[in-house]
């Protein structure tokens, strides 16, 4: 059996690495586009999610790293093989973040709104999936949940997925209003969160 200290240490490494990639590309996008979003307001739903992230998720991870016994209530009895599989999922998704952020460039925004100089990205992972960032994010946190063996993180994954499902239609409506027929054609040949099996079919 692998010592729990290794799991805690790598959980911190995984989290810091992923957040560093996200912060780097998001801050670079903000610097490149001084005009910002059409609408800078995040809305109450986004505010709630950010507060949940800062005080809930981040607080839980810090507690798990520093005072692991305080998080025993959220533990799951998983085999080392399952936890290692979760770590593998995390390791795979981190370069995916780098890949999709590179293609998204300055178009990344903290809200569902498009930037004033937004462009339709159809390269890299966006060639097959319209929202690969959401897919990679869910996969990352599922992997973290298994690796840390904490059901609380799985609960967060479920809540985040519901939120993204509610946010996605608004985001796609903004893109359709911005790019019109070009976005309609793009939507027909791509999947929302996973690649389409039959690109000529209806939007997933």
Give residue 185's domain range.
4-34+43-189
Mean model confidence pLDDT for the chain: 85
Number of domains in the chain: 1
Cβ pair 146, 86 in contact under 8 A: yes
Per-residue pLDDT for 104 more than 90? no
DSSP letters for the chain: ---HHHHHHHHHHHHHHHHHHHHHHHHHHHHH-TT-BS----HHHHHHHHHIIIIIIIHHHHHHHH-GGGGGGGB----HHHHHHHHHHHHHHHHHHHHHHHHHGGG--SSSSPBTT-----SGGGGTBS-HHHHHHHHHHHHHHHHHTBHHHHHHHHHHHHHHHHHHHHHHHHHHHHHTHHHHHHHHHSBSSS--SSTTS---
What tens digit of pLDDT does each residue of 30-86 get? 776 655 454 444 556 666 666 777 778 888 999 999 999 999 999 999 999 999 999
**Which CATH number characterizes residue 126's domain?**
1.20.120.1630
87 compared with 174, residue with greater pLDDT: 87
Tell me, yes or no, whether 153 lies in a domain.
yes
Tell me, yes or no, whether 196 lies in a domain.
no
Tell me, yes or no, whether 202 lies in a domain.
no
153-176 mean pLDDT? 88
Tell me, yes or no, whether 195 lies in a domain.
no
Tell me, yes or no, whether 47 lies in a domain.
yes
What tens digit of pLDDT does each residue of 114-147 get? 555 678 889 999 999 999 999 999 999 999 999 9
Tell me, yes or no, whether 101 lies in a domain.
yes
Question: Looking at residue 143, what is its pLDDT?
Answer: 96
Question: Looking at residue 196, what is its pLDDT?
Answer: 87
Question: Looking at residue 58, what is its pLDDT?
Answer: 87
Tell me, yes or no, whether 203 lies in a domain.
no
Tell me, yes or no, whether 50 lies in a domain.
yes
Q: Cα–Cα distance between 160 and 172 in angstroms, integer? A: 18
């Amino acid at each position: 059996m692998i010592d729990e200290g290794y799991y805690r240490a790598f959980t911190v490494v995984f989290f810091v690495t992923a957040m560093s990639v996200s912060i780097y590309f998001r801050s670079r996008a903000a610097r490149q586009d001084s005009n910002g979003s059409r609408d800078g307001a995040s809305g109450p739903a986004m505010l709630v999610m950010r507060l949940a992230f800062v005080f809930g998720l981040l607080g839980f991870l810090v507690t798990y790293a520093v005072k692991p016994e305080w998080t025993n209530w959220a533990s799951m009895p998983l085999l080392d093989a399952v936890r290692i599989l979760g770590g593998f999922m995390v390791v795979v998704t981190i370069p995916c973040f780098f890949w999709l952020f590179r293609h998204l460039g300055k178009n990344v925004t903290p809200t569902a709104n498009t930037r004033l100089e937004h462009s339709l990205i159809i390269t890299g992972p966006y060639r097959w999936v319209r929202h690969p960032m959401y897919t990679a994010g869910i996969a990352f946190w599922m992997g973290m949940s298994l690796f840390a063996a904490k059901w609380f993180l799985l609960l967060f994954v479920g809540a985040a997925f519901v939120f993204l499902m509610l946010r996605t239609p608004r985001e796609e409506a903004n893109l359709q209003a911005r790019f019109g027929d070009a976005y309609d054609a793009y939507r027909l040949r791509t999947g929302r969160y996973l690649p389409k099996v039959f690109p000529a079919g209806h939007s997933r």
